[in-house]
Amino acid sequence: MEITKVGIIGAGTMGNGIAQACAVAGVEVVMVDISDAAVLKGVATVASSLDRLIKKEKITGADKDAALGRIQTSTDYAALKGAQLIIEAATENYELKLKILKQVDAIAGPEVLIASNTSSISITKLAAATSRPGHFIGMHFFNPVPMMALVELIRGVQTNDATHDAVKALALRLGKSPITVKNAPGFVVNRILVPMINEAFFVLAEGLATPEDIDAGMKLGCNQPIGPLALADLVGLDVCLAVMEVYLQEFGDSKYRPCPLLKELVAAGHLGRKTGRGVYTY
């Protein structure tokens, strides 16, 4: 199956980023969210991102217009008709994702593939809640989607080869570099990355160094392009906390205990760049 039209549930950071990547690559997109304001904000974010690429002479004004012309928006799931693949890109909450996936499963034809952009929730478990577990896969993009080359393709126990191969072909068409991983909490990248971020919060909470020095140490000593605390602000402290809580629950190992400082900042609403304040102030 060649995927030429993609439905995206969620017009937030990840949803609009996936929409941009698809539209720039010539793939038709239907981006759905709960309100007109949400989808309009998503399209505006894509337009701003494309303007930055024009300034960098990566694309032309005509390219921008063509990409935006490929993005259709709606608040009605019925608009997803005709999409060969529907990607759920909602907040990292199991109950919310389950609700969305059941709605999508009910309106999509039996041949339609469904993917979740989850960064930590079991693909096998999500797939089992649908009527098409063989046509279900994890498609974990990384933030910011237009810039990051990696896509993790997560195979649940039920995911069939045709689904994997079709989604991999799409990822390659988008200019991404997909890796295939087995289903497990956190998959591969976040299984390693988020506990490192959590440990950086423990180091900060213990007063071992300033946030700036912690980040500088990891950048200069480990050749990372961004420090773990700045990365947490970029990802969202609430997302980091949610992932750690999933690990703790799924593995039952105390090494995945979320740092109390991380929990405190989230409770205060200091979620990072998206709220203007996290570890750093923006």
Could you give the residue numbers annotated as active site?
119, 140, 152, 190
Phi, psi torsion values for 5, nearest 5 degrees:
-140, 130
Q: Which own/partner pairs from 197-201 qualify as long-range (CB within 8 Å, at least 24 positions apart)?
A: 197/228, 197/229, 197/231, 197/232, 197/235, 197/240, 198/240, 198/244, 198/256, 198/258, 198/259, 198/262, 199/228, 199/259, 200/227, 200/228, 200/229, 200/232, 201/229, 201/232, 201/259, 201/261, 201/262
Beta strand 113-116 with 136-141 is: parallel
Greatest extent of the chain over all pairs of C-alpha atoms, in Å: 56
Name residue 182's amino acid. Answer: K
